[in-house]
Structure 1
Amino acid sequence: MDTIEVILVDKQDNPLGKMEKLEAHRQGRLHRAITVYVFNSQHQLMLQQRAFSKYHCGGLWSNTCCGHPFPQEETQQAAERRLNEEMGLTLPLEKLTQTYYNLPVTNGLVEHEFGHIFTGITEQLPVLNPQEAESYRFASLTDIGQELLDYPERFTPWFKTTFPLLVEQFKA
């Protein structure tokens, strides 16, 4: 397996260096990340169920895709790359907002990230990369919000953190 490096940053997203991805999650080092939310024309969000084989949060439901920019890669480029790698989708994305979080995840790892959140709209159906995604489904923001209240254990920690930001942005 190739070594993947992430960009270490401060709380203002200024680059500080780079580190191997899994080690950054083990140490809980703050690094740059991307989160993508893709909708269809009926304003339903495409949720991804993470592959059960993922090194953390396998089988949990989350945003359409997520990941990390490579060193020297722009966040927009990383978001579009990961959307294609995970879900087989190619479409233009728009930056929605950004956020900071420091969340424990499964297997003793930490998602300590400065996240850039992107959105897009498509009628394409995904072609899942089985190493990344187990399944997908579409749901309204209202239905997802209710499911988060009723069954929070079904969702990734970062989805529970970023989803309210998404809802807030669409209310504005």
Structure 2
Amino acid sequence: MEEQVVLVSENDEVLGLMDKMQAHKNGILHRAFSVFLFNQKGEMLLQKRAANKYHSPNQWTNAVCSHPRHNETYLEGAQRRMKEELGIEAVLSPKFHFLYKAEVGQNLWEHELDHVFTGDFNGEVHMNPDEVSEVRYITMEALEKEMIAKPEHFTEWFKIILKEYKEHL
């Protein structure tokens, strides 16, 4: 069964459910969350999306980005996906939310009401190879330089979310 996303208005009023692929083909606004995790040195955890992902394969992005399920809070979804993708748990704090729309290739769009969470993590990652091919920590300074030098190595939504994140510091 195709995974569904929760369609919402700009005020986060639920409008219904739709197959995830259909929502991405049509660029329809839906709920999402993004997780930024940092180690004790203040470095950000990045994941490289698996090669078999239907969009943005083999690109670096923040620790976790996904969609809450119907009747699941943003936080519950973020905690679920940390376990499913990285095999980890961390205490998360809500930071902000915002709307964005980005083309992600193959005529697909992310049009999301995105809730951003942060947390600390210093343990071992147990990657799900269907979701993630690599992880690494990076300083914000090194990340900014790499994103300028090789923007094609990063997901479109991560570029947008990181800019928003820096504005909310």
- Determine the C-alpha separation between the residues in 1 that align with 2:19 and 2:44: 31
Contact 1:35-1:65 at 8 Å conserved across structures: yes
Equivalent residue, structure 2, for 1:99: 98
Equivalent residue, structure 1, for 2:49: 50
- Determine the C-alpha separation between the residues in 1 that align with 2:55 and 2:31: 18
Q: Which residue identity is paired with 1:125?
A: E
Equivalent residue, structure 2, for 1:148: 147
Equivalent residue, structure 1, for 2:6: 7
Q: TM-score, normalised by structure 1?
A: 0.95
1:138 maps to 2:137: yes
TM-fit CA distance, 1:142:
1.1
RMSD of Structure 2 on Structure 1 (CA): 0.9
User: What SS does structure 2 have at the residue aligned with 1:55?
Assistant: coil
Deviations 1:64-122 (A, max 9, x none): 01110001100000001011111111111111111111111122110011100011101
Structure 1: runs of 5+ lacking an equivalent: none
Structure 2: runs of 5+ lacking an equivalent: none
After TM superposition, what 4+ stretches of structure 1 lie above 6 angstroms from structure 2? none
Sequence identity (%): 36
- Determine the C-alpha separation between the residues in 2 that align with 1:55 and 1:161: 20
User: What SS does structure 1 have at the residue aligned with 2:145?
Assistant: helix
Deviations 1:144-168 (A, max 9, x none): 1111111111100000000122223
Q: TM-score, normalised by structure 2?
A: 0.97
Q: Which residue identity is paired with 2:31?
A: R
Q: Which residue identity is paired with 1:154?
A: H
Equivalent residue, structure 1, for 2:123: 124
- Determine the C-alpha separation between the residues in 2 that align with 1:163 and 1:70: 24
Q: Which residue identity is paired with 2:51?
A: F
